[in-house]
A and B are shown apart, each in its own frame.
Chain A
Amino acid sequence: MIEITDVKDSRAVRNKNNVLALYDLMINTKKSEEGTAKFVSPAYIQHNPLIADGSVALGKFFAQVTRERARARVIVHRIIAVGDYVWAHVNFLNLFNDDPDDTGIAGVDIYKMDADGNAIEHWDTLQIVGDPKNSAPMIAPNIPRANPNGMF
């Protein structure tokens, strides 16, 4: 994981650490509602179209995913934090299937944090990763990759 923060920006460092702790609790250790209660404001404004506003809705969404999918996990590849914002480039794996070869979903999560270091607003973009022979499944099947560099 690459961390992009000015270590002298103590608010950004705290916020970055809180977001990493949130991912770990909410997804990797399957303590979703504990994670969202700890690091997400009740008034959390959600821009992901599939999830309702609020920390409770977020906790419930991931509680269900992590109950149903034993292998569900997130890998954070790079994270940047400045002031009140934390942006993370991640790979969600096995959120929607149990295939050990799942390549999952590429995402960038954008969090805005309040003065206490809790997330108050969130935007994301998500893209199904596919594989080198099927590299843009959201556009059309079986488009080969134009380069050998992978998504992350």
Chain B
Amino acid sequence: MIEILDIKDTRAVRNKNMILDHYDLMINNKKTEEGTRNFHPAYIQHNPLMADGRVALAQFFGEIARGRARGRIVVHKIIAAGDYVWTHVNFLNFFSDDPEDTGVAGVDIFKMDADGKAIEHWDVLQFVGDPKNSAPMLGPNIPRANSNGMFEERT
């Protein structure tokens, strides 16, 4: 994981740590209530599939945690400045139990309040596919135009 922040920006450091802790508890350890403890009750949700609020978030991931034993998240990069934390992640085995699942690539954008609680969230999600089927949301079996993968860092 690559962490992009100014370590002198103590608010950003706190917020970044809170989000990493949240992912780990809510998704990887399936403790969805505990994992949303630092989310504001009035959390504003822009993901079209989830209702507003901390409770709706915990319920959504609670269902995945119960239904998908392998469900997990890998954080590849995280950037934080001031009140914002943005992450580049790979959600795995949310919609299948296939051990070869390549999952969903996502960027989550969190806005945090003065107390370090998440108050607003936007995201952009895309199925990863594989090198021979690299853009399944556009059409089947479109091969990758490069050999770099979705997440690796080459420079």
- Using a Cβ–Cβ cut-off of 8 Å, how many residues does chain B contribute to the interface with A? 48
Pick the contact of A49: B6, B79, B124, B145 (CB < 8 A): B145
B14: chain A residues at CB < 8 Å are none
Name the one of B4, B106, B138, B146 contacting A52, with C-beta atoms under 8 angstroms: B146
**Interface bits A1-39 vs B (CB < 8 Å: 1, else 0):** 000111001000000000000000000000000000000
Q: Which of B4, B86, B150 contacts A47 (CB 8 A)?
A: B150
CB neighbours (8 Å) of A138 from chain B are 125-127, 137
Interface residues of B in 78-92 (CB under 8 A from A): 79-84, 86, 88
In the complex, what's the smallest C-beta–C-beta distance from B82 to chain A, in angstroms?
6
Tell me, rounded to whole Å, the shortest Cβ–Cβ distance linking B6 to chain A. 6
Q: Is the CB of A47 within 8 A of B81?
A: no
Is B74 engaged at the interface, CB distance under 8 Å to the other chain? no
* B79 cross-chain contacts in A, Cβ below 8 A: 80, 82, 85, 87
How close is B10's CB to chain A, nearest CB, in angstroms?
A: 13
- 3 closest A-B pairs (Cβ-Cβ)? A49-B134, A135-B48, A108-B107
A binding-site residues for B, Cβ under 8 Å:
4-6, 9, 45-53, 57, 78, 80-85, 87, 89, 106-108, 110, 112, 120-121, 123, 125-128, 130, 135-136, 138-139, 143, 145-147, 149-152
Interface residues of B (CB under 8 A from A): 4-6, 9, 44-46, 48-52, 56, 77, 79-84, 86, 88, 105-107, 109, 122, 124-127, 129, 134-135, 137-138, 142, 144-146, 148-155
12 interchain pairs, CB-CB under 8 A: A6-B81, A50-B138, A52-B146, A78-B84, A85-B79, A106-B124, A125-B88, A126-B137, A127-B126, A138-B137, A149-B52, A151-B122
